[in-house]
Amino acid sequence: MAFEKDSDVDIIVCITENGKIARYLSKQRTKQPVLACSTNSQTVRQCNAYRGVVGYKIPQYLPMKGEDLIDLLLKVAQEQGLCNLPYSKVMIFHGENEADDLKEKYSFKIIGGEEMPDEEQE
């Protein structure tokens, strides 16, 4: 899996069970902050120790996929000061099966990235 460090994304949000995606992104030394989200407390603690990664514990009652989860994670990223929605481009990264090697399928999508009005740019 190759990741372009100089992409025009402002923040990377990864949904992970064991922290493998967050660890890989930390090793790549991306200039974008990474918000690593998991339902596992130990994974969140480990992700907080990685360079450029902020861990967030997903409540157990939320499913690991869905619009409610994405809305919550974007709200958390904005509250943490990691992005300025809707003007920031956010990459949502989700691994299908992290227990295997990193060569497996990963899905991601980019949201946001609207142009900032002239009044707010100054």
Tell me, what CATH number does 50's domain have?
3.40.1380.20
pTM as predicted: 0.76
74 within some domain: yes
> Which tens digits make up the pLDDT trace of 13-45?
998 888 988 998 899 898 889 999 999 999 999
The average pLDDT across 3-13 equals 74
Q: Which domain holds residue 43?
A: 11-114
Residue 42 domain-assigned (yes or no): yes
Give the number of C-alpha atoms closer than 13 A to the C-alpha of residue 5, restricted to the C-beta side.
9
Whole-number pLDDT of residue 3: 57
Within-domain flag for 21: yes
Q: Is 80 a domain residue?
A: yes
pLDDT level of residue 118 (50, 70, 90 thresholds): low
Which among 108, 116, 67, 64 has a CA at the least distance from the CA of 90? 108
